[in-house]
Every structure is written in C-alpha cells, then in structure tokens.
C-alpha cells in the first residue's frame, strides 16, 4: 500500500466524484484514498483548481460525506510490471479477480486492493548482464521463462540516466521481490533491481530508439480482413457494429490466429453477460501456435458496464501499459478493447459532474483528443537492442442502433488506420464475419495483388448497385450482363468474404492460401462465360459457388483438394468464352 503524504478533507461528493480542499501540493492523476470508516476507497485526481481538487472514486461512494479524510500518496495511478502477468484476469486497477472473489465472497468487497503478481512463485533467472556493465533504463539484466515467452528483467523504466551494475544474481530460482542486481550512478546513489517495477498508466512507455512506420501486414487469417481491409503490425483499427453483429466472435478469431506473441483483452465496460462469455470461452480457446490454451499468452482486463464508471477508464490505460511493457521485450502485442463506447460514456458522465461545457451528444469537448492519445500508443518500434516490437490496437465500438455518425465512431475513424464496419444487414443474413465490404476501408497493404483487388472491389460495388436496382424493377427488368455481374459479386461474397470460424480449415486461412485462392477467384470474376439466359447463369454460378465453398474446407496439401480443384477447372471450362 502506498505511503501517505498528507491528509485532507472532503468538501463535496457528487456520485463517484468528490471534491477535496487541500493545503499541501497535489498533482494531476495522483492516487488518493478516501476513508469511510475502516474502508479506504481508491481515487484519482482528475482536476485541480486553486486549493481544491476533484477526484474520481473507483468504488461506490455510499457513506462518503463532507468532512471525511482523504489520504494523498504523491504517486500516480500505476501498474505493476513483471513476470506472472500472463494468464491473469484483472480488474481495471490490476487487482487479480480470482483472488478478489476468494477474499470477498459472492459480492466483491469494497476497498479491497491486492498485489497484482504472485510473490511466492519462483522463476528460473538467467543473467545476461555482469557487474561493471553500464546500463540505462530499459536495459536487460536477465530473463525468466514465462510460458513460451522469454520475459526480460529490465532496469526500471522510471529511472533516469546511466547506472553501473555492482552485482548481478547468479543463475537460479528466485521470487519476484528478491534482488536481481544492484546498480549505482555517478552521484553514488545505490538502488536495487528486482523482477518487478511500476509505471504510471497515463504516461506512454517511450524507451526505444525509433518509432517505425507500420507497413507489414499483420496476418489475422481472416480473409476479409487480410485481403480487403488489412491491419498492419503496430497499426490501429476499429470494429464498430450493432448488438448481435458478431464483434465478440470476430475478436476471438483475431486473438487466436493473428500474428501476435501476446494478446490483451480489455473488456472496458461491456455488458456483464458478454464479459462472462469471454471469461468462460476465452480460456478454452486453443492456441494454434502451441496447442495449449490461448490464455497462456493472454491477459484479460475486465471491467463491465455494471462496475463503477471510473474503473472503465482505468482499465483502458492499464491494458495499453501492459501491452507497451511486452513491446519493450521485442514482442508483438495485440490489444483488443471492447468496447470503447462504454469508456466514452464514462468520460461523458464524469465530464457532466465536473460541469464542463459539453460537446456533441453531451460527450466532453476533448473526446477526440483522448481517443487519439489512446490509439497513438500503438506502434512499431525499434528498441536499442536493434529488435523490433509492436503494439497493435483494435477497438470495438458499439454505436447506438448501429449509427456510425455518432461522436465516438467518428472520433475513432479520424485516428485509426483501418475501419472494419460490422453490418446489421449482413449479420441478419448470416454472412459472417459481418464486415461490410463497401463501407469498410483500410490504409494498410493487402496480402494480394492490388490490381486484382481493385477489380474485385469494383465487382462488389457493381453487384450491389444491380441488387438495389432489382429490388425496384425486379429480375426480369435487368439485363443479362448486369445479372451476371450480380451473380459474380454474390459468388465472391460466399466463397471468399464469408468464413466459418468454427471449422478447423476454413476458420483460419494463411496468407499463402489467400493469395492462391484469390488468384483463382479473380479469374472467375474477370472471365467471360457463354450463358444464354438468366436461369442458366444462376444455376451455373450456384454450382460453381458450392464447389469453391467445398474447396475452402479442404487442406491445401490433400488429395481431395487437388481433385476438387480439377473439378472446378472443368466446370469453368464448360462455359468459358475463351474455350468456346
């Protein structure tokens, strides 16, 4: 528990915000504890005006009244970093929820705060530095195995300047609080280095030599994403969509198959029922890389919409700080936040209590700035060791009624590099993943040829126009050429855009297979066929579509795949104008 710097008095309480009058120094984002009897409620300073400070309380303020004591700590809201973070489920303040439940009972106990990491587990330490080495913050002293991850023990990132190592622990097993090294600086100050350190969540970790442009495609093995709306390693994307559009299933699929070493899920204000679904299903997902449970290389930060609103904001920053920490080890980290709309609603509630001038739909006027500062913490960086590490951020947005014109979605679209808009129309038609192929976009590089991709997009756009026209004038009023374009767009949708995430083969399509299949599909889209009437055209494309869909379920290296492919070649040759 942090030491108490000073004790002040409450002069006002408004929901989960309180105002304190102080006589000592108080700083922005400082942690304090409000005392309600024997209970201490964790708070954070969010505004300082004159000799008064407004604090958001991370717990229910029932019983808190004017005149109660508030203890200031002179410390910023921080998280503990070290081995043992993986496989954990935390709340927004980094309390392990399983231990919190054990000590609280059915309902979580107010004012109970636990250490984030297990102090009893012993880790096999291997030193890589030696006495006499000159080190700086972030330099590596040694490493311990954390599952499949090589977890580096670093000089604390909060230190300043150059230090000289006096001692380094020998290889062996140690707990996280044991001293791994002792360092001294030019002023003769001596400090101990353990396996753990603390870092303020609102301050980005920038201890790297260079921030690079995110150009390499992060393969998610989801065809719609990698081909049409790619995400870059170290890039940003958002997945807005209405309730029931498949955001959670899409997140699970991306978590399993994306090229990421560490996955962090921030349930920053989703409904309690959906979080329960994540907690039940996510640990059961099999990691295709290792065959072990996916949770072994994951962290879940869990704050539901039924928890105090202030904790939602904390969970977002806690998650991104943990992602940056693993980036410092040269790892690729994927952070999925669900849903940033609930975080924005918490900001709106707190802004109203601060009596700030509201922006659009009563959201704070600085909403865009806060959302931008969060996504800007993503990035591909080159460390001082020469290695590259990345944080890729994907945020789910839950606009009311699927309205993408609302402020949170629009503010997010201004800063992200890819927009994967989920469609109610497609989810109702059971076309999953329900990413709308015409509304979505990406600034990143696709895994397929740009020319073929542009042609396929043109087919989708023309097919949609013909479909809208047929709804008005009927199929009989449509020309055969237009009808064939519509059939080609439906063919592309069914055989490539749609994907069965529950199938072992179709659920994950690697980059090589995507390029191979898209090349074959492009030949159908660009081909001319001898089709005398609409009934013949419909029957032909339905048969061809089913053959391609069956091909999607077959491993590429199997004999069945080759036989099915030969059948498709013969089917195409039946009506190909080139063979006529």
Closest to 227 (Cα-Cα) out of 522, 430, 466, 11: 522
Closest to 361 (Cα-Cα) out of 305, 401, 395: 401
Give yes or no for a contact between 97 and 91, defined as CB atoms under 8 angstroms apart. Answer: yes
224 is in an annotated binding site: no
- Can you tell me the distance from the alpha carbon of 402 to that of 433, in angstroms, rounded to the nearest whole number? 16
248 is in an annotated binding site: yes
244 is in an annotated binding site: yes
267 is in an annotated binding site: no
Strand partners for 55: 18, 45
243 is in an annotated binding site: yes
The tokens describing 38, both together, are 């024997």
- Can you tell me the distance from the alpha carbon of 89 to that of 104, in angstroms, rounded to the nearest whole number? 16
Residue 103 CB contacts under 8 Å (≥ 6 apart), including other chains: 109, 112, 114
- Can you tell me the distance from the alpha carbon of 514 to that of 9, in angstroms, rounded to the nearest whole number? 63
Question: Number of C-alpha atoms within 13 angstroms, CB side, residue 142?
Answer: 27
241 is in an annotated binding site: yes
Give yes or no for a contact between 320 and 335, defined as CB atoms under 8 angstroms apart. Answer: yes
Give yes or no for a contact between 18 and 59, defined as CB atoms under 8 angstroms apart. Answer: no
- Can you tell me the distance from the alpha carbon of 265 to that of 251, in angstroms, rounded to the nearest whole number? 9
247 is in an annotated binding site: yes
246 is in an annotated binding site: yes
DSSP 457-483: HHHHHHHHHHHHHHHHH-GGGS-HHHH
Annotated binding site: 241-248
Annotated binding site for ATP: 241-248
């Amino acid at each position: 528990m942090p030491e108490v710097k000073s004790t002040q008095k409450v002069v006002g309480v408004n929901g989960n915000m309180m105002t304190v009058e102080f006589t000592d120094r108080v700083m922005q984002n400082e942690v304090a504890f409000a005392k309600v009897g024997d209970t201490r409620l964790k708070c954070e300073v969010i505004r300082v005006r004159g000799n008064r400070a407004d604090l958001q309380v991370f717990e229910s303020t029932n019983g808190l009244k004017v005149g109660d004591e508030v203890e200031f700590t002179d410390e910023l809201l921080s998280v503990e970093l070290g081995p043992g973070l993986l496989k954990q489920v935390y709340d927004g303040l980094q309390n392990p929820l399983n231990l919190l439940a054990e000590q609280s009972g059915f309902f979580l106990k107010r004012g109970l705060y636990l250490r984030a990491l297990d102090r009893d587990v012993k880790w096999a330490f291997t030193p890589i530095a030696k006495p006499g080495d000159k080190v700086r913050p972030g330099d590596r002293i040694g490493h311990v195995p954390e599952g499949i991850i090589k977890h580096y023990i670093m000089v604390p990132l909060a230190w300043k300047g150059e230090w000289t190592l006096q001692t380094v622990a020998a290889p062996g097993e140690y707990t996280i609080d044991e001293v791994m090294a002792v360092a001294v600086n030019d002023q003769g100050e001596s400090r101990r280095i353990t396996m753990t350190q603390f870092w303020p969540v609102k301050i980005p970790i920038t201890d790297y030599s260079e921030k690079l442009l995110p150009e390499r495609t992060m393969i998610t093995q989801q065809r719609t994403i990698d081909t049409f709306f790619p995400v870059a390693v170290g890039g940003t994307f958002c997945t807005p969509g209405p309730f029931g559009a498949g955001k959670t299933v899409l997140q699970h699929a991306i978590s399993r198959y994306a090229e990421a070493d560490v996955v962090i899920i921030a349930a920053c204000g989703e409904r309690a029922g959906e979080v329960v679904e994540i907690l039940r299903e996510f640990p059961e997902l099999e990691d295709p890389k290792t065959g072990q449970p996916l949770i072994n290389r994951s962290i879940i930060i869990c704050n539901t919409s039924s928890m105090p609103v202030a904790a939602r904001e904390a969970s977002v920053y806690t998650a991104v700080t943990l992602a940056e920490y693993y980036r410092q080890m040269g790892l690729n980290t994927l952070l999925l936040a669900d849903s940033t709309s609930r975080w924005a609603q918490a900001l709106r509630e707190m802004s109203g209590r601060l009596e700030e001038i509201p922006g659009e739909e009563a959201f704070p006027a600085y909403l865009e700035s806060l959302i931008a500062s969060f996504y800007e913490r993503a990035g591909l960086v080159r460390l001082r060791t020469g290695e590259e590490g990345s944080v890729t951020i994907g945020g789910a947005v839950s606009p009311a009624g699927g309205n993408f014109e609302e402020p949170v979605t629009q503010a997010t679209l201004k800063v992200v590099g890819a927009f994967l808009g989920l469609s109610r129309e497609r989810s109702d038609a059971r076309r999953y993943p329900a990413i709308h192929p015409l509304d979505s976009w990406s600034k990143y590089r696709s895994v397929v040829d740009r020319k073929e991709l542009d042609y396929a997009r043109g087919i989708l756009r023309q097919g949609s126009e013909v479909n809208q026209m047929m709804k008005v004038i009927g199929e009989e009023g449509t020309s055969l050429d237009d009808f064939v374009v519509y059939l080609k767009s439906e063919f592309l949708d069914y055989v490539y855009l749609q994907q069965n995430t529950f199938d072992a083969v179709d659920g994950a399509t690697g980059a090589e297979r995507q390029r191979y299949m898209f090349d074959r599909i492009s030949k159908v889209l660009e081909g001319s066929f001898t089709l005398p009437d609409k009934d013949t055209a419909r029957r032909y494309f339905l048969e061809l579509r089913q053959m391609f869909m069956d091909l999607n379920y077959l491993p590429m290296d199997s004999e069945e795949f080759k036989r099915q492919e030969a059948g498709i070649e013969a089917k195409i040759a039946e009506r190909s104008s080139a063979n006529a």
